[in-house]
Amino acid sequence: MLANTVFEALKWASSFLKDNNRDENVGELYLRHLLKMSRAKLLAEQQHVLTEAEWLEFKQAIEQHVKGIPIQHLIGFEEFYGRPFLVNSDVLIPRPETEELVYYTVEKLSKKQNREPLVAVDIGTGSGAIAISLKLESSARLNMIAVDISDKALDVARENSRRLGAEVNFLQGDLVQPLMQEGVKVDVLLSNPPYIPLRDKETLADVVKDHEPELALFGGEDGYDLYRRFMEELPKVMNDSFLIGFEVGVGQGGTVENLLKEAFPDANVEVVFDINGKDRMVFCEQG
């Protein structure tokens, strides 16, 4: 079959994806990438005729996605906070819910009156999405640091930083260990740590468990291993006045809230719900 037009290509992809229990919108995403069109232009160009080479590339990509390869890996990018971030199998694909962690942090920082630049850190930076977006979006002056245990992830993050023009200092190491080793004190710390319980591994979609790094997905048997480690180490690196923000899995907000209250008894801790009414963020603020 040769789909001559955008309309026919999208119709074929939607049907094929639906039959294979995949998201029907993936066809539109890939075709926009292939034809370098905005969504509005693609929808206005329904009768645009594809070349045979374009159709074959499109068909092959959709077939690869059906076999389990994330569409973001086929495209090479994922959009986060309105910017294209390079992604591959070495980093977690940035999710929309993580944008809210950045949004609320920017809101909180906008209320602070700091004459001196704040030291802000993103732990487990992956693609660099949180660190780079916070640096570019915040009106506060930030000395931005991004930490990851994976050298390969840091390579991706550095390239995203270069492409997007964000000044970020990258450190390789485990959680806050690099900060402790260099004697860095922190004003703002964000993290989207691995929080999926190992017991849930088999319930994950194959596009996730087979193609995204386990290091960035799983947080031990109950999902809280990294949060527990954070509570032991954070008091050693945070300044007297600070803001901590974590992304959490649905239903984990209360537990992480209690862990933070134990670690920082004088701080204000709050669980923040995302646009879908899910407990996806916990903030801890002092001073």
Cα–Cα dist 180/198, whole Å? 29
Q: Are 131 and 146 in contact (CB under 8 A)?
A: yes
Class of residue 165 by CB neighbours under 10 A (exposed 0-12, middle 13-18, buried 19+): exposed
Cα–Cα dist 69/63, whole Å? 9
Cα–Cα dist 284/243, whole Å? 6
Cα–Cα dist 42/247, whole Å? 34
Q: Are 252 and 223 in contact (CB under 8 A)?
A: yes
14 is in an annotated binding site: no
148 is in an annotated binding site: yes
126 is in an annotated binding site: yes
192 is in an annotated binding site: yes
| 126 dihedral zone (left: phi>0; alpha: psi -120 to 50; beta) | left
Return the structure tokens found at 184.
């860095």
194 is in an annotated binding site: yes
82 is in an annotated binding site: no
225 is in an annotated binding site: no
Return the structure tokens found at 266.
């004088």
151 is in an annotated binding site: no
Cα–Cα dist 27/62, whole Å? 7
Cα–Cα dist 238/96, whole Å? 28
235 is in an annotated binding site: no
Q: Are 280 and 273 in contact (CB under 8 A)?
A: yes
- Binding-site residues sit at 124-128, 148, 192-195
- Binding-site residues for substrate sit at 192-195
- Binding-site residues for S-adenosyl-L-methionine sit at 124-128, 148, 192
